[in-house]
């Protein structure tokens, strides 16, 4: 006898939003090379898709939040 699933079981999982290196560079106002350096050093997590990288949008915001420097 099949059982009915609860509503919360039917909600789709939250999708991760990915950005290209160029989009990250624009968002951070740095060069693409700077983004590549951050990715290769491990400071900014990324997923390799073919020959390019995709960076989770949340990771970019977390990096910027942690890198905030107060000069006051």
Instruction: Say what percent of the chain tops pLDDT 70.
Output: 82
Identify the CATH class of 18-70. mainly alpha
Give the up-direction half-sphere exposure of residue 23: CA atoms within 13 A in the CB hemisphere. Answer: 12
pLDDT tens profile 60-71: 999 999 988 777
Burial 11-30 (b: 16+ CB within 10 A, else e): eeeeeeebbebebbbeebee
pLDDT tens profile 7-31: 556 666 678 899 999 999 999 999 9
Q: What predicted TM-score, i.e. pTM, was given to this entire model?
A: 0.74
């Amino acid at each position: 006898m099949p059982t009915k699933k609860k509503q919360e079981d039917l909600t789709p999982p939250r999708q991760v939003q990915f950005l290209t290196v160029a989009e990250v560079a624009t968002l951070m106002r740095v060069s693409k090379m700077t983004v590549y350096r951050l990715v290769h050093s491990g400071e900014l997590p990324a997923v390799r898709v073919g020959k390019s990288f995709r960076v989770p949008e949340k990771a970019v915001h977390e990096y910027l939040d942690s890198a905030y420097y107060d000069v006051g």
